[in-house]
Structure 1
Amino acid sequence: MRIEPRAEGFLADIVFCCICQPALYIRPFVTEFAQQVDWLHQNVQAVAASQMQAAGEQEQAVMFVTGAPCLARYSEDGSYYRAIIEKVDDVQDAVHVLYVDYLSREILPKRDICECPLELRLIPLSYACVRLAGVQPNATRPIAEVYGRLQELLEAASFYVRVIQRPDVKESTSMPEVELFTAKDCQTLAYQTLIDEQYLVADTNQ
């Protein structure tokens, strides 16, 4: 998803904190994005229902191959979501999947998997990958601890995102730089506590 610089924040939720880049995966609640997510969900359910009905008449033509895209039925709500097969367990007749729009994992029976057609694979992922502007993890603390605290803090409540800078192809910056706030007026940083406690410090490279 592409997000533009703006003066005020838009509402979002945290999906996942990645310590290897480091990066944040967020799900914005802007109108056009919400419409895309709703459209995708409805179409995934329709495609999955059609495939599962056909599977009752003939053997399902799913290739259970590691790395293959698929539609997987989430055990919590019974709905289907786009996923990637990470591992095939023929002994248990199960597959390990990663839900690509939510970055969560689950082990499912093969009967809960169906093919993901190309038209659904071409739809952009349901999150944006960003990094915090102006701050970095304190080098004196384990990075896993810093991002663990950050994810815990951001999971507690929705926050507002202000985009400071878009990626610069010439400078090889691949992620938008953002600030996260507790309210739309962008006055109080959502992670101010982590700055006060020296989990996050000023980024000297910016």
Structure 2
Amino acid sequence: MKATLNKKENILRASLELFAERGFDGTTVPMIADRAEVGAGTIYRYFENKEALVNVLFQDCVAGLSDSIRGGYPEEGTVRDQFRHVFYGMVRFASDNIQALHFLDTHSGARFLNADSRDRFDELMGFLHAYARSGQQQGVIRPLPAHALIGIVFGAFTKIFTLIRSGILEETPVLLAGIEESCWSAVRQPAE
């Protein structure tokens, strides 16, 4: 049983690496098989096709990001406390698997995502939209569309972690605190 789990885990790991590096269309089942060190036929024992595989992977990544962001969320905290929690939840997720962050960033609107994948992603976005609306109602968050606010923070965040991954930046607590403060400044309602 353990060898079976390892094969499936190896297939998912290899798929994530390749989809993050090459995208869905640039990745073939034989490439995944080579990277996972299994026969191509083995992949089809676990997944009906490449689309089924990418959807399982996408749902796993969304669940991981959601768990990182929502776990321990300070419901009764200030809008600022909640923002800090979400930011450092993204840090935990990215630090554990930068490829999953890149994969979600590049595949979240993909044509091949099935209804379950879209629903799970929409649920996570709904949580973030509710946060933005609440902050706007309290006069703390800028009155921009939630998608724009999320794009400002998530776009900057993914770029910073790409620079960390490539070795251009070193991930330190001081750097992360500065980035978190900068992202907060970008979405908070300025004091008048």
TM-score (normalizing by structure 1): 0.29
* Structure with higher RCO (Cα < 8 A, 6+ apart): 1
Bigger proportion of residues as strand: 1
Bigger CA radius of gyration:
1
> If the length of structure 2 is used for normalisation, what is the TM-score?
0.30
Q: Which has the higher helix share?
A: 2
